[in-house]
Chain A
Amino acid sequence: MLGFSAFLSQLEGLFGGEDFDLSSPMMWVYIISLAIVPFFMMYAQKFQSRVILGEISKSLVKLKTMKEGARKEAVDYVKTVIRTSMSLDPALGVDKFLEYFTIMPVDLDPTGIVRKLDHLMRTRDERLRTEVKKLCTGASEQEVSKVENILEAATALNMIYKIVRHFYLMGKRTTSMFVLVQLQMVMPLLLEEAEALQKAISAFKHGQPIGDGIGPMVVGKMMFGKGKKLVAMETVYVEEEYKGRNLYLIKAEGPAGTVGRPGEAIKRLANDLHIKFDAIVMIDAALKLEGERTGDVAEGIGAAIGGIGIEKYQIEDVATLLEIPVYAVIVKQSVQEAITVMRKEIADALDKVTSTVYSVIEDKTSEGQSIMVIGVGNTMGVGQ
């Protein structure tokens, strides 16, 4: 068997032929630099995994800090709104809330799934509302809605943290490069969302309007000073005349932090009260693409409403059944802007959106017709 030096001398040609000299330090640099290639071929992925694990670990620490901060803010806020002297620690209630889950209905047979979802979400909302009321004994309705919103943001942060931690630990345990790389790729987006949720808590605590509240703000302006009637849970409407047309203005009841039930409202007005609508105009915040300006206003067709789809289904269902055209006016903003305190650019779009809504009404309908105008979004900090 050949010794190492003998082996090297066999590779004389490779290392400079006649000039091959093992005593030269440059020669060793050359040998090592060549040896590094197969070494990295074997271990590069392991090194990369270590680097990625380190990066994810740093982000995980950030997420943990945010999650714990959100929990603390929720507990502190609940303490400030409790009006009665009770010995129960609100931290227990908050922790219970953070771990609350909802099991989605089976979708093997999708027929009637929206009805099931609607039932599930109502049960969830009612249960959560009862829990929050129990947690904040003696608090006003508005304070309860603030706590609900704060807890929802804290729950979302908790969920992001737990999911990231799950994949981090799974990637670490299995040393699976693919799990880690995927996690590393989505991490900046997750961190952005988590930061937005953290900022949203501050807006909710002070009852400040968020970007998503532009729809209710527009309709709130249109119905300001007029007699409001309750049409569905946490949803109000006003009937008024505009240039010979009957307008039915609908929005969630503010300034509490709620989105109301516009789907139920439209069903009630069209089916139960038999009002014949000739057009529906919806105003909502919509996600902008990168490069688009915040606060830009655009017009379109279709039900402008987010969420998991229950309200959208109900509105589309009534509109299709009764052949009512649905027009949409949207205000562009990013996900972060939609859930944090309303930016000036969005608030400045108010007059433009209002005039766009009126011009849609004038262009698409004629005198004597009935039009439903819905301001979609969270009405936190926006009255009417």
Chain B
Amino acid sequence: VILFGKKKETKPDIYSEDTCQSCGQKERRQFKDGDYVYGSGAQCKKCLSSNSVVTAIYGEYPEEKH
């Protein structure tokens, strides 16, 4: 950042983390409207089970360059 320069505003990427209740596989994907923690998640990519639960939703900020 240049001296006295304005810090650029960064927006976080929002992710939903699904945990398959059948095989325990954890998958991270982009958040979509309607997702909520402990609600139904997307189909498991490993065992193709639909018994998946959203276990976390969080925002990840891009790492600042120093």
Contact = CB atoms under 8 A, between A and B. Distances in A.
Interface residues of A, number: 23
A29 B14 CA distance: 62
Contact of B57 (A209, A220, A224, A384): A209
A207 B39 CA distance: 12
Contact of B61 (A254, A343, A382, A384): A343
B36 A344 contact: no
B37 A382 contact: yes
A280 interface: no
Nearest to A142: B36
A76 to B, nearest CB: 15
A340 interface: yes
Interface in B23-53: 31, 33-39, 53
Nearest to B9: A195
Chain B interface size, as a band, is 10 to 19
Interface of B: 12, 14, 17, 31, 33-39, 53, 55-61
A346 B58 CA distance: 8
Interface string A323-347: 0000000000000000011111011
A381 B37 contact: yes
B5 to A, nearest CB: 16
A92 to B, nearest CB: 27
Interface in A188-232: 206-209, 213, 217, 220-221, 224
A207 B33 contact: yes
Contact of A208 (B17, B57, B60, B61): B57
A160 to B, nearest CB: 19
